[in-house]
Amino acid sequence: MKLLDTGSGNTKIRKNNRDTKIRVAGLSLYPNDSLCPMRHIAQCAKTCLVSSGRGGFDNVRNGRQAKTDFYMNDRSGFIAQLKKELTNFEKLCTKNNVIPYVRLNVISDIQWELATNGSIPKSFPQINFYDYTKLAKRLGKTPINYELMFSYSKAAAYATQVDKALQTDVPMSVVFHGDMPTVFMGKRVVDGDSSDIENLKHKGCVIGLKYKLAKGQNINPLDEVFIVKADTIPLLNIA
């Protein structure tokens, strides 16, 4: 079983590979409560992007579930396989003179920095790892080559996580509907739709992502908890 997508099969990874100086690989596991411990508190379990894009195909969904089963049932075997693939990916990037980036949580939120998960980033100091997370306790505790961005939700039970994240300089991704503000929650807003790699550079900023609707569609009620509508932002937050 191949774990890493190194060929830009996932749209979340593909947009970053437009930069010819880098190459991005990703690991897509089918999420569950263990792999995504905040998904009910942040109210993202029902609206998870697991079915977006190619995730709507049975073979893709089954492949992700098989990887999750591998991780849950044979952690040491999974980590050994992942390290083997990361070694090969690093060699490939060196051969092609590109900078390697890896997103290990394309649709999960595993703490890969922990020894129980193989301390993966520390094992590969020449690879740049990055992820989005909803676990505020991870912020500021990852190795220098593993950068995180925090994912916003306005779910009431999740407010303490947002408050903790605001005390750090970690970029926070926020989905906006309508005109994007220049300031939100006291932080400068930057357009984050073009590249995750560029987003990593915006320390202390809000990474603004536009909520995309097909013509004639309305906002999915289940998405409301993640969306900040331009006309609901307090004037004090707009500059």
Higher pLDDT, 132 or 9: 132
Model pLDDT, residue 208: 95
Determine contact, residues 173/189, Cβ cutoff 8 Å.
Answer: no
Model pLDDT, residue 9: 53
Please tell me which of 160-174, 178-192, 218-232 the model is most confident about, judged by mean pLDDT. 160-174
Read off the pLDDT band of 18 (50, 70, 90).
Answer: low
Model pLDDT, residue 130: 97
- 4 pLDDT more than 70: yes
pLDDT per residue as tens digits for the range 48-64: 655 444 544 578 889 99
Listed residue (123, 122, 161, 124) closest to 142, CA to CA: 122
Name the one residue in this structure whose structure tokens are 């991704």.
173
Model pLDDT, residue 220: 79
53 contacts: CB under 8 Å, gap ≥ 6: 10, 11
Q: What is the mean pLDDT of residues 129-153?
A: 97
Model pLDDT, residue 17: 59
By percentage, how much of the chain surpasses pLDDT 90?
A: 70
Give dist(CA 211, CA 235) in Å, integer. 21
Higher pLDDT, 213 or 189: 189
